Amino acid sequence: MVSKEVTVKSATGLHARPATLLVKKASSFKSDMSMEFDGKKANIKSLIGVLSLGVTKNSTVKVVASGDDEALAVEEIVKLIDSLEE
């Protein structure tokens, strides 16, 4: 299992468009992936799950992956979240 924390810099947090990009990217990996925020946990491969976390600007989320490509999966998701500056 690999995990890493990242701060969401996007002005609108993880709303529909960035959440869709996250789900699409996460779905390209074999590993089980989740995101933790404010005591809640959601599957990153589920749009409803990501949106239900209600992540806002300047929030720190924890990305967790477990499986064959876990290290690459966490790295790519963190990189994507970092690039979501609007």
Q: Is domain 2-82 in CATH 3.30.1340.10, yes or no?
A: yes
Output helix, strand, coil percentages for the chain, rounded to the nearest 5. 35, 25, 40
Parallel/antiparallel/unpaired status of strands 32-37 and 60-66: antiparallel
Give the pLDDT of residue 86: 59
Tell me the catalytic residues. 15
Span 32-67, pLDDT tens digits = 999 999 999 999 999 999 999 999 999 999 999 999
Give me the residue spans of the domains in the chain. Answer: 2-82
Span 17-28, pLDDT tens digits = 999 999 999 999
Give the pLDDT of residue 85: 75
Does residue 14 surpass a pLDDT of 70?
yes
Read off the pLDDT of each residue in 60-76 and give the average, rounded to a whole number: 98
